[in-house]
Amino acid sequence: MTNPTAPSTPSIPPRPDLRRRVLAGEPTIGLFVNLGSLVSAEIVARAGYDWALVDLEHGMTTEADLLGQLVAIQATPTAAVVRVVSGERMRVGRILDLGADGLMIPRLETADDMRETVSWMRYPPAGIRGVAAGTRGAGYATLAHADIRTLNDRVLGVFQVESPAAVEVADELAAIDGVDVLFVGPADLSHAMGFPGEFANPLFVQALDRVAAVARAHRKAAGILVRDASEVGAYLARGYGFIGIGSDSGLVMSGARLQLAEARAALG
């Protein structure tokens, strides 16, 4: 007889909740994890963010360190998203085999590139992801072969918009099944547009609004990385619902500077 008070078995990674919430239009808040520290990843997850993004592109984590951070994050309700080094089939498949709840893909500019990358994220017949039933991302052989394809619906696909070319074809990109979030990289986009860091520039704002509009039209989410929580309300109003607020390294740096400034002030 089943004990009704016993805890249920946790959902195997990748867990479906984040993708379901994002596609339902629910705003989510995350933090980039780039210190390369398992402890930092766990602290961020235990703080209660909707998602923590382990950054392999710009952060200090290596692919060899990734599994421990995924396990630490997924021991909490926080979802584990990974920004890959680059959109290559083996990197995409390997990280999904480790059990990431979602992937962020940088530096793609065409619909064909995004369709190809989505195909690497999905098992046949929807894609060409290699089938290995014994991996963590396939439940350590707890799923029957006929059920493996059900994991396709669990993985969140976050694709970055970092260039004028990507903004130009944003409508086509948002129409692709599996492109769940169009995520603006403000620094890269502003540099590529010729006005580095000028986030109030009318042309930059126009690009932001275009991305949000096409995401909304295709029932997808628009995402962005902001500097601090004071900017969240403005971006929510602009149509952005998948919002990253800085990084663990940024929190350490700003907290250290603030504490030192207060201490020096006390010294006179």
218 an active-site residue?
no
- Answer yes or no: is 107 within a domain: yes
What is the reported pLDDT for 11? 75
What is the reported pLDDT for 8? 47
- Mean pLDDT across the stretch 10-30? 93
- Answer yes or no: is 208 within a domain: yes
The torsion region of residue 89 among left (phi > 0), alpha (psi -120 to 50) and beta comes to alpha
- Mean pLDDT across the stretch 186-195? 96
- State which residues form the domain around 225: 17-267
pLDDT-derived band at 4, boundaries 50, 70, 90:
very low
- Answer yes or no: is 9 within a domain: no
What is the reported pLDDT for 10? 57
- Alpha helix stretches (DSSP H) within 58-217: 66-74, 89-97, 111-121, 164-168, 170-174, 186-192, 202-217
- Answer yes or no: is 99 within a domain: yes
Half-sphere exposure of 44 (CA within 13 A, CB side): 36
Phi, psi of 10 (to 5 degrees): -60, 150
- Answer yes or no: is 171 within a domain: yes
CATH number of domain containing 67: 3.20.20.60
Q: Does the pLDDT value for residue 58 go beyond 80?
A: yes
Tell me which amino acid residue 246 is. Answer: G
What is the reported pLDDT for 32? 98
- Answer yes or no: is 21 within a domain: yes
Residues whose CB falls within 8 Å of the CB of residue 135, separated by 6 or more in sequence, listed in order: 97, 98, 99
- Answer yes or no: is 1 within a domain: no
Q: In the predicted model, what is the mean pLDDT of the chain? A: 94
- Answer yes or no: is 249 within a domain: yes
What is the reported pLDDT for 6? 38
pLDDT-derived band at 5, boundaries 50, 70, 90:
very low
pLDDT-derived band at 1, boundaries 50, 70, 90:
very low
Specify the DSSP element, H or E, that contains 247.
strand 242-247
Q: Does the pLDDT value for residue 233 go beyond 70?
A: yes
Half-sphere exposure of 20 (CA within 13 A, CB side): 6
Q: How many domains does the chain have?
A: 1
What is the reported pLDDT for 12? 79
In tens, the pLDDT along 240-261 reads 999 999 999 999 999 999 999 9
- Mean pLDDT across the stretch 179-202? 96
Tell me which amino acid residue 161 is. Answer: V
- Mean pLDDT across the stretch 45-71? 96
- Mean pLDDT across the stretch 102-112? 94
Q: Does the pLDDT value for residue 2 go beyond 70?
A: no
In tens, the pLDDT along 199-210 reads 999 999 999 999
d(CA 58, CA 70): 17
In tens, the pLDDT along 130-174 reads 999 999 999 999 999 999 999 999 999 999 999 999 999 999 999
This prediction's pTM = 0.93
What is the reported pLDDT for 217? 98
